[in-house]
Structure 1
Amino acid sequence: MRDITRRAERVILVVDDHPLIRMAKADMVKSCGCWPLEADNADEAIRRLENCAAIRFVITDVEMPGTMNGIELAKLIRERWPQIAIIIVSGRTSADLDGLPADISFLEKPLCSKLLCQHLGG
């Protein structure tokens, strides 16, 4: 936890139910000079957010099993943690983004490391 506190301004939560994809995104986050935390669904992401005040950014996939998808997760994050920036990632360009706040970014898969770094401010 000391490493997370030291890099508090750059802690990014990566949410994806596919382990290899999640790990690849976490590696991209590291390449941007940030500190990644991982969650495999929205419920785990919420627990991480409740227990780690250092998280400044969430990158979430749209389609996930469990109690909510990435769009619903993004809406909940915006309500409970309005200071956290959010990027939604999907392989479907037709993802239903209606009702999302304008300040939430959308990136298409496959994710480009350079573009991700730009969004993360790195």
Structure 2
Amino acid sequence: MPRVLYVEDDALLRAVTSMALEDAGYAVVEAHDGHQARRLLEEEGGFDFVISDVSMPGGMSGLEVAQAAQAARPGCRTILVSGYATAQLPELPAAVVYLGKPFRVQELIDTLGGANPPVANS
């Protein structure tokens, strides 16, 4: 089962999206900010995907989470979400997929599926 680290500061959005991802067959670990995400990446690693909001409180952005994800596991697929248009954001790394808010959960699931998840051993 592919593992997802989902980083979102909005608790309700985080809970609803996590449930939908789990229903779609992903094992989800939640983080409420970038600092918690970085700790989880360092301690647990092994994530196939990281989904993170770009702008979060606490001084660590989704871009920094994406960098930490690549450092913890090169090849980890990262999806950054934001309510801002891409023109309003700093330049995103080439390996990062952008998804604008608001999005439907099915769009996120389709984006994960299109990111060629690693094949899990049964």
Q: Shorter-chain TM-score: what band?
A: 0.7 to 0.9
1:85 aligns with 2:74: no
Distance 2:40 2:67 in 1: 16
Distance 1:35 1:80, change over 3 A: closer
User: Hey, what does 2:120 align to over in structure 1?
Assistant: none
Q: If the length of structure 2 is used for normalisation, what is the TM-score?
A: 0.81
Distance 1:82 1:46, change over 3 A: same
Query: What residue ranges of structure 1 are gaps of 5+ in the alignment?
Result: 1-6
Match of 2:35 among 43, 54, 69: 43
Identity %: 35
Match of 1:56 among 42, 48, 51: 48
Aligned residues: 113
Alignment RMSD, CA only? 1.8
Distance 1:110 1:88 in 2: 13
Q: Counterpart of 1:43 in 2: which secondary structure?
A: helix
Deviation at 1:53, TM superposition (A): 3.0
User: Hey, what does 1:65 align to over in structure 2?
Assistant: 57
Distance 1:82 1:96, change over 3 A: same
Q: If the length of structure 1 is used for normalisation, what is the TM-score?
A: 0.81
Alignment of 1:1-122 (within 5 A): 7=1, 10-94=2-86, 95-98=88-91, 100-121=92-113
- After TM superposition, where is structure 1 displaced by more than 6 Å over at least 4 residues in a row? none
User: Hey, what does 2:119 align to over in structure 1?
Assistant: none
